[in-house]
Amino acid sequence: MEAAEAGLDLVVVITEGVPAQDEAWFYNKVKRDFPATRILGPNCPGVISPGKANIGFIPAEVAKPGGPVGIVSRSGTLTYQVLAELGEKGIGVTTCVGIGGDPVPGTSFIDCLAAFQADSDTKAVIMFGEIGGTAEEEAAEFIASEMDKPVAAYVAGVTAPAGKKMGHAGAIVSGGKGTAKGKMEALRAAGVHVGLNPTEVGDLIADLVPTLR
């Protein structure tokens, strides 16, 4: 709140364990009273544009600058993995955003997908989702209607049991909703290249990169 009151454009909240009630309170207050301020997080690794800026703790040494791939992810660990694997393949990244896995994220998949769609340097996008909530299904609708850039995705939690929180506070399948299978089906229906593991997503993007202009 102090950062928003000071007029900062971007506030990165890496803190884990923020109560959902508090997240909802400051998200709505900032959106209402300080609409020029964007919150990233909570419970996120931050954002990096390799070679330009890094806010948070995404390991810059594994990221290759220059694009043409943008990354948005609910999972910090998978973010680091795909950055490293793309770097090993010689594929650069324009910007990588960890939005966090809490129930009330300040920045959504759609926010990032829209920014990547508008960014002339980003030619393809990797999206890492996970079980719980409906963010991936909403992102699928956006991709189908608003994006013409290729998107590859992976959804973590295929074997997660219903009703059990898995890792992130928002990663819980409840009422038969929020399953990895349902999210993967929605993404495939939107034309997204869905991998069965993070490495496969990197391979899918690597196959696409030579065709990008």
Q: How far apart are CA 27 and CA 14, in angstroms?
A: 14
| DSSP 8-state assignment for residue 176 | T
Identified catalytic residue from 168, 184, 194, 195: 168
Q: How far apart are CA 209 and CA 150, in angstroms?
A: 10
C-alpha dist (Å) from residue 12 to 4, 29, 197, 198: 11, 16, 28, 25
What would the DSSP string read from start to end of 48-67? EETTTEEEES--GGGPPBS-
Is 168 annotated as catalytic?
yes
3-state helix, strand, coil in the chain (%, to 5): 40, 20, 40
In 3-state terms, what secondary structure has residue 172?
coil
**Bond before 161 cis per omega within 30 degrees:** no
Q: Point out the residues that are catalytic.
A: 168
